[in-house]
A and B are shown apart, each in its own frame.
Chain A
Amino acid sequence: MTTKYTTDHEYIRIEGATGTVGITLFAQEQLGDIVFVELPGIGKVLNKGDEAAVVESVKAASEIYAPVSGTVTEINTALNSEPGLVNQDPHSAGWMFKIQLSNPSEPRRSAG
């Protein structure tokens, strides 16, 4: 298991061919209270850098970009009713979506 960080303050935790994506502790502090998370649909095919999700605070909306290419396999539906999880526990309970990597070697080259 390795965790990589993007320059846009997203993380991806890679286990085998699957990555779990969320935003960093620093990012949630900068955004302030998260009030809504718009998650991608399961099965959505994303290219690295595509807009994958949106997090909204009271005064701002920020896009979350796909850190790798792949297919969305799971989303954290708990965020629908409790978006504050992103603030409280961004690296664990506040994860956003899981993605099946289409090219497992991709993140090693560029997302470090």
Chain B
Amino acid sequence: MSMNTQGRPTGTTNVNPSTSSGAALLPDEPLLFEIGDTEHSGVDLPDVTLKADRLGGFRRKMPLDLAGLTEPEAMRHYVRLSRLNYSIDSGMYPLGSCTMKHNPRLNEKMARLPGFADIHPLQPISTVQGALMLMEQLAHWLMTLTNTAAVALSPKAGAHGELLGMMAIKAAQAARGQAHRKIVLVPESAHGTNPATAAFLGYSVRAIPARADGTVDAEAVRNALSDDVAAIMLTNPNTCGLFETQVIDIAQAVHDAGAFFYCDGANFNAIMGVVRPGDLGIDAMHINLHKTFSTPHGGGGPGAGPVVLSAALAPFAPVPFVRRSEGGLELVEHGEGQALGRITAFQGQMGMYVRALTYMLSHGGDGLAQAAKDAVLNANYIKARLQSVFSVPYPQYPCMHEALFDDSFLDQTGVSTLDFAKALIDKGFHPMTMYFPLVVHGAMLVEPTESESKQTLDQFCEIMLELAMDAKAGNKQNFVSAPINAPRRRMDETRAARSPILKWEREDDASEAAQ
């Protein structure tokens, strides 16, 4: 036979044994300011000269010094940067309390229709009847899913909604002559936003301890209630992933004591279409459209946090809101009666309303309920598959849409929760939520959402079990040095915080500043 000695080796025997990191497809990308300059531009515009300006002498003298890129350069810069990100489209986010579900692209397409994207918030009302109809329909879905009397759509995000809900409670207490109520009860396991919001409004926060089973004790709530308590802020399902079994009793006790029940709706995904929070006795609850109703997280916003309100709080809803009148729909933009004022300019996150309503119509009432049930099924499946190795702090009840583990399975291994989570990155998964809720030592909170297939869940569980075995086998090094396969190793956060560098500066400017 003839031997072609120029042939390529096709095996991997000569390859360096270290793991491939995919670095060839993930080149480091310089900063915009290191590749662009003030002359280049990727936008062609007519070059007009101003004969006489009307700028009254306020014309800019300070250099802008903004770097520009032509279109192909910009395309490459932002595509390359994007490839350094993990995303829900590329893998599962087992992030407890974050509900990282699939983001349907129909939502995006609809939000870009000129009839939604290219309308101005202050156009004449007669020219935006479709937009008001959309807001009315979204409100109808939210009120039906929660069995509540009203909804304020305008909050920009969950924490903003929470602020509004508590403002409504404060206003309602004042209207009842109960402004002296200065205490808000917050369970120890609450999201950090809850005490922050209460304190912002001048309330003092009293913590309610959890029972051994991870739920809030109705008796402890009763004991804490008094004539000084304005409200309770409760998350249900709670941050440990459990349904608050005594929630109806708690609501009753809270109302009997003249207080209101604010429900943190961060975990609504577990019960949408299955349980209506209004039936549990809530007075206000924010709904994160970017969690429950699939609007994209976008690397940290924009979110949207509409707040549903009970009949008792409905009169305190802020402006603006949509109202049906003889001539069609109108937008009420100025306070009437007890209404709160405005918490944002304009009408709130219209772009998110479009996406959320598109999602609701796609799923229908039946599909939303099925989604909630699948989310709960998935979390319980993970819990069942992992509980022989991972420690479950509250095993009594089925979990809702997220499974909580603590770090006692890592005892004696020298591996921390953080190390374990970082090792998950090397296996291709985003870490789970760590060290939250604070009531559990070394908490790991896993929320798969309904979007993950059984195959992905099995793969996730197998990797979790494999890592746990590795930790228990004493291979600490694999964890403390993780991640090694990501675009970056662990970052020096101490250095970042001690002498913050928050913007790019030319080297000569930077050294000048240092002197």
Interface residues of A (CB under 8 A from B): 33, 35-36, 56, 58, 83-84
User: Which residues on B sit within 8 Å (CB–CB) of A58?
Assistant: 493-494, 497
Is B60 in the interface zone, CB < 8 Å from A? no
Q: Which residues of A contact B494 (CB under 8 A)?
A: 33, 35, 58
Query: Nearest CB to that of A35 among chain B residues?
Result: B497
User: Interface code B465-508, partner A: CB below 8 Å = 1, 0 otherwise?
Assistant: 00000000000000000000000000001100110000000000
CB-defined contacts of B498 to chain A, threshold 8 Å: 33, 35-36, 83-84
| A84–B497 alpha-carbon span in the complex (Å) | 11
Residues of B within 8 A of A83 (CB): 498
Chain B, residue nearest A32 (CB): B494
Given contacts A33-B494, A33-B498, 11 further A-B contacts (CB under 8 A): A35-B494, A35-B497, A35-B498, A36-B497, A36-B498, A56-B497, A58-B493, A58-B494, A58-B497, A83-B498, A84-B498
Q: Which residues of B contact A36 (CB under 8 A)?
A: 497-498
Most chain B beta-carbon contacts within 10 A, residue among A36, A58, A83, A84? A58
Closest partner residue, chain A, to B494 (CB atom): A33
Min Cβ gap B436→A in Å is: 12
Q: What's the nearest-Cβ distance from chain A to residue B229, in Å? A: 25
Q: List, sorted by A's number, 13 A–B pairs whose CB atoms are closer than 8 Å.
A: A33-B494, A33-B498, A35-B494, A35-B497, A35-B498, A36-B497, A36-B498, A56-B497, A58-B493, A58-B494, A58-B497, A83-B498, A84-B498
Given the complex of chains A and B, what is the CA–CA distance between A36 and B498 in angstroms? 6
- Min CB–CB distance A76 → chain B (angstroms): 16
Taken together as a complex, chains A and B put the C-alpha atoms of A107 and B412 apart, in Å, by 41
Distance of A84 Cα from B498 Cα, bound (Å): 8
CA–CA, A57 and B497, complex, Å: 8
Cβ-closest chain A residue relative to B499? A81
Distance in Å: Cβ of B289 to nearest Cβ of chain A: 29
A77 to B23, CA, bound (A): 45
Give A36 to B497 CA distance when docked, in angstroms: 8
CB-CB under 8 A from A33, the residues of chain B are: 494, 498
Which 7 residue pairs are nearest across A and B when measured between Cβ atoms? Answer: A35-B497, A33-B494, A58-B493, A35-B498, A58-B497, A58-B494, A35-B494
Of chain B, the residue at the smallest CB distance from A82 is B498
Q: Which residues of B contact A35 (CB under 8 A)?
A: 494, 497-498
Q: Which residues of A contact B497 (CB under 8 A)?
A: 35-36, 56, 58
Residue on A with the closest CB to B493? A58
Give Cα distance in the complex from A33 to B498, angstroms. 9
Determine the distance from Cα of A56 to Cα of B494 in the docked complex, in whole angstroms.
Answer: 10
Report Cα–Cα, A83/B493, bound state, in Å.
14
| Least distance between B257 CB and chain A CB atoms (Å) | 31
Cα–Cα, bound, A83→B497 (Å): 10
Complex CA gap A56/B493 in Å reads 13
| CB-based nearest B residue for A56 | B497
Assembly CA distance A83 to B498 (angstroms): 7
Closest to A81 in B: B499
B142 to chain A, nearest CB (A): 36
CA distance A84 to B494 in the complex (A): 10
* Distance to closest chain B CB from A80 (angstroms): 11
Chain A residues contacting B493 (CB-CB under 8 Å) are 58
